[in-house]
Amino acid sequence: MTPQDLMSLEGKLTLVTGAGVGIGQGVALELGRRGADVVLHYASNAQGAEEAAEQIRAMGRRAQVVQGDLSKVSECRRVVDDAVKFLGGLDVLVNNAGVSTTVEFLKTTEDQFDLTFDLNIRGQYFCAQQAVPHMVERGRDLTRRYPDMPWRGGSIINMSSIQGLGGLALHTAYAGTKGAIIAFTRTMAIEICPLRIRANVIAPGAVEVPRYWDNIENYSRELGNTMAPWGRVGLPEDIGYMAAFLSSDAAEWITGQVFTVDGGTMARLPIGVTYH
């Protein structure tokens, strides 16, 4: 691979969890557009995952879907191993699968808490743990096959949220998981540096996904467009562009970082003052 190709994902072997809908689907499609082969994990939306896989195949890339309940460690391990079996290795893991819990702090039940933490934290943690040895082996394989080309490492991308950085009512358990994702990713990144694997976090802002119509009263695109200073709501492909960059060899020297992709939301001070 020449230096001019560092932004390309041609030949990259990737797994995206929670790819049946929303952000995960948008990420998977963008990785495919950039040249990657993609395994799309889903929990319940088989149709959405398969439709995205068909689009990736139409781009001339390989794609496969795999189902799994990532709140269970055994399923995390199986999903990663199944992806590697199909792809023949693993360069990139995008840990996107998660659940959003919208409930008052004082009314949050033990079951709601457990569901949110089991999927959002357990799933990311153990998928990443299972992926690392496969990425190391992929690096060894590429080094054997292309001894004159330096291996620029594997990439783990964990999906958090700006709610891991700032508060929004009715999301205490959810925000707790998103903050934890940031914390464990930073420490993991340091531990796996010697293995030539990087780990970063994407923290999306308001990104329009199907649950917006279910969970936000009277939601519309017009309402969504008021949620960020940029003047429009985020779309799954906006997150896909960042994930594609972090998956690429151009991001080799970037690890342990948190990237807010939010149309300026976290930059705006929430002070209702009008100056003359």
Most confident segment among 92-96, 214-218, 264-268? 92-96
From the candidates 71, 160, 247, 248, which is the catalytic residue? 160
Q: Is the per-residue pLDDT at 116 higher than 60? A: yes
Per-residue pLDDT at 219: 86
In the chain, the percentage of residues whose pLDDT exceeds 70 is 99
Per-residue pLDDT at 2: 45
Per-residue pLDDT at 275: 73
Give the CA distances from residue 234 to residues 22, 36, 113, 211, in Å, rounded to whole numbers and listed in that order. Answer: 11, 24, 27, 14
Contact (Cβ atoms closer than 8 angstroms) between residue 234 and residue 263: yes
Contact (Cβ atoms closer than 8 angstroms) between residue 228 and residue 264: yes
Query: Is 244 part of a structural domain of the chain?
Result: yes
Per-residue pLDDT at 272: 75
Instruction: Give mean pLDDT, residues 5-9.
Output: 94
Q: What order do you get walking across the sheet with 13-16 strand by strand? A: 63-67, 37-42, 13-16, 92-95, 154-159, 197-204, 258-261
Q: What total of structural domains would you count in the chain? A: 1
3-state secondary structure 106-128: HHCCHHHHHHHHHHHHHHHHHHH
Answer whether 0.85 is exceeded by the pTM: yes
Query: Is 214 part of a structural domain of the chain?
Result: yes
Residue matched to tokens 């409930």? 103
Query: Is 238 part of a structural domain of the chain?
Result: yes
Instruction: Give mean pLDDT, residues 191-208.
Output: 97
Question: Rounded to the nearest 10 degrees, what angle do helices 172-192 and 124-145 cross at?
Answer: 30
161 is annotated as an active-site residue: yes
Query: Is 229 part of a structural domain of the chain?
Result: yes
Per-residue pLDDT at 4: 58
Contact (Cβ atoms closer than 8 angstroms) between residue 49 and residue 40: yes
- Domain limits at 219? 8-260
What are 9-23's pLDDT values in tens digits? Answer: 999 999 999 999 999
Instruction: Give mean pLDDT, residues 60-88.
Output: 98
CA–CA separation, 212 and 264 (whole Å): 20
Among 124-128, 209-213, 220-224, the range scoring the smallest mean pLDDT is 209-213
Instruction: Give mean pLDDT, residues 28-45.
Output: 98
What are 218-241's pLDDT values in tens digits? Answer: 888 888 898 899 999 999 999 999
Query: Is 274 part of a structural domain of the chain?
Result: no
Q: For residue 156, give the nearest of 218, 202, 198 by alpha carbon.
A: 198
Question: Rounded to the nearest 10 degrees, what angle do helices 124-145 and 73-87 cross at?
Answer: 20
Instruction: Give mean pLDDT, residues 118-147.
Output: 97
Q: Please tell me what DSSP assigns to residue 268.
A: S
Instruction: Look up the CATH number of the domain holding residue 182.
Output: 3.40.50.720
Per-residue pLDDT at 3: 45
Query: Is 275 part of a structural domain of the chain?
Result: no
Query: Is 267 part of a structural domain of the chain?
Result: no
From the candidates 12, 125, 155, 161, which is the catalytic residue? 161
Query: Is 63 part of a structural domain of the chain?
Result: yes
From the candidates 71, 155, 178, 212, which is the catalytic residue? 178
CA–CA separation, 187 and 56 (whole Å): 34
Instruction: Give mean pLDDT, residues 112-140.
Output: 97
Instruction: Give mean pLDDT, residues 92-109.
Output: 95
Per-residue pLDDT at 1: 42
What are 158-174's pLDDT values in tens digits? Answer: 999 999 999 989 999 99
Q: For residue 154, give the nearest of 142, 168, 166 by alpha carbon.
A: 142
CA–CA separation, 5 and 26 (whole Å): 23
Per-residue pLDDT at 217: 78
Instruction: Give mean pLDDT, residues 107-127.
Output: 97
Contact (Cβ atoms closer than 8 angstroms) between residue 200 and residue 234: no
From the candidates 174, 212, 247, 248, which is the catalytic residue? 174
Per-residue pLDDT at 128: 98
Helix (H, G, I), strand (E, B) or coil at 264: coil
Q: Is the per-residue pLDDT at 60 higher than 50? A: yes
What are 141-151's pLDDT values in tens digits? Answer: 999 999 999 99
Instruction: Give mean pLDDT, residues 55-60.
Output: 98
